[in-house]
Amino acid sequence: MLSLEFGNSLFYVFIGTVTFLLLLLLYKIRKIAKPLWSLQFWLLWVLITLFISVLTTMMAVSYLQDTLFPNSVTPEESSPTDSLYVLDTTISLKFQGDTNQRINETIKMLKAFDKQSKNLKKDTFTVYEKTTEGCEIICIYDKSVNFMRFDGTLNSEMGQREFKYYLIREPTLKAYLVWFKDVFYDKPMYQKDMRIRETISTYLIIADNKLIGVLDEKLIRKKVSQSKMKELETDARNFFKDYIGQIKLIK
């Protein structure tokens, strides 16, 4: 990043300059008062010089970065409290209900919401990907029942990810279903004769902020290890934070 590199360069320039000036001052004073000062005093003075140099440099770099690069903070460095949509990830208790029943209820909610989505309100936001171009995220919501869905597609050189997050406010924002469609290419998309190598659709069923089931593209439950469940759960949370979390409050 330009601002970070610029800051590093300034750091070394300033610390070198300030240290040189302070040591030059020390040399001038030493010539005048040499008989009066002990070796211990000179060592203390050098330590104080280095401390002042570092402190002065950090303050100067911080000021110049804020002045010259006021918008250089990347999305992942921004404060999460600025996000309009923050996912509740608090897990107080392990899900105690009937897992199969909860999965069936979630599928019904999914189909009902998708059926109504054409008549619901929509907002479109632009977010920025880590490695590729920007992406539009569509928020579909119904204030009367506090349901909402986020849709989007992220493209990269070696693949594509479509996603849908189904959420509800109760009162915090909680996910109850996440859908990913990951498309993998056999070579970078800009190369000739690029083909789709594999396509994987995954439905993640969430209850009480915990992943309780994984379904395939036909909505059939898959057998997944606990370690894989944890990996999928973490991926869904981080993905939400990295992209949907970029949508900021307007101040």
Beta-strand pair 210-215/196-207:
antiparallel
What is the distance between the alpha carbons of residues 207 and 241, in angstroms, rounded to a whole number? 19
* Model confidence pLDDT, tens digit, residues 93-121: 566 678 889 899 999 988 888 888 888 88
Q: How far is residue 76's CA from residue 130's CA, in Å, rounded to a whole number?
A: 9
pLDDT number for residue 230: 92
Q: Break the chain into its structural domains and give their ranges.
A: 2-72, 79-246
- Average pLDDT in the 140-165 region? 86
Strand 159-169 to 147-156 pairing = antiparallel
In 143-209, beta strands by DSSP E: 147-156, 159-169, 173-185, 196-207
Predicted structure pTM score: 0.62
The residues, ordered by sequence, that sit 6+ positions from 80 with a Cβ below 8 Å of its Cβ are 86, 241, 245
How far, in Å, CA of 24 to CA of 245, rounded?
Answer: 51
d(CA 111, CA 117): 10
Instruction: Identify whether the C-beta of residue 137 lies closer than 8 Å to the C-beta of residue 149.
Output: no
**180 within 8 A of 162, measured Cβ to Cβ:** yes
Sign of CA dihedral 126, 234, 108, 171: negative
Q: How confident is the model at residue 39, as a pLDDT?
A: 60
Model confidence at 126, in pLDDT bands (50, 70, 90)? confident
Q: Give the CB-side neighbour count of residue 34, counting CA atoms within 13 A.
A: 5
Model confidence pLDDT, tens digit, residues 46-75:
677 777 766 776 766 565 555 544 333 333
Phi, psi (degrees; rounded to nearest 5) at 131:
-125, -10
Which pLDDT score is estimated for 24?
Answer: 66
Percent of the chain surpassing pLDDT 90: 25
